[in-house]
Amino acid sequence: AKQIVSKFVLSTRTRMNIARPVVGTPLFVSVFAHAGFEPSFRDDLESLGYMWIYLARGRLPWQGIRDCAGAAKVARIGQLKAMTPIEELCEGLPVEFAEFLAYVRSLRQHDKPDYDTIRRMFQALGERLGVEYDGKFDWTNNTYTDQKASNSDTADSLPVSK
């Protein structure tokens, strides 16, 4: 006999969310991902924002939690993220970081982010800070690639900073 496990009627206007476990590094996943929402563009950008803040400041406020472990630790990180004001999180950084996170968190789950506006905002920041965008990156400069080509593929041939 046929058994109907569940019946769902989905329209193109309504999306269904099923609580999901956190996927990814808990330090960087979005507040919405911690709450069990299906990840979307919004969540990718929020994670990127946390990564930028980590790289700029060297740590995030929810790093180093030692009073719990496992799922409880992941939940605690989510609580701290939700409770930390954006202004406090971005303290000491250019205002664009806080504006970016505020914008990303204001998006609804299936909104398409305005990537052009975000790009322009950070390009203007780079210009204000005197960053020259020449399309070249540290890992593509000739000195590095020439050195890499002349060395063997052994670990002792990797560049070491002193």
pTM above 0.75, yes or no: no
The alpha carbon of residue 91 and the mean position of all alpha carbons in its chain are separated, in whole angstroms, by 18
**Tokens 């990564």 -> residue:** 51
86-126 pLDDT, tens digit each:
999 999 999 999 999 999 999 998 899 999 999 999 999 99
Q: What is the pLDDT of residues 18-43, one digit of tens each?
A: 556 666 688 899 888 888 888 889 99
Q: What pLDDT is recorded for position 67?
A: 86
Token digits of residue 47: 């994670």
Q: What percent of the chain has pLDDT over 70?
A: 71
pLDDT in tens, 43-85: 999 999 999 999 999 999 999 888 888 888 888 999 999 999 9
State the helix-helix crossing angle for 95-106 and 41-57, rounded to 10 degrees. 160
Q: What are phi and psi of 113, to 5 degrees?
A: -65, 150
**pLDDT band, very low/low/confident/very high, at 156 (cuts 50, 70, 90):** very low
Residue scoring higher pLDDT (45 or 149): 45
**Residue 151: per-residue pLDDT:** 52
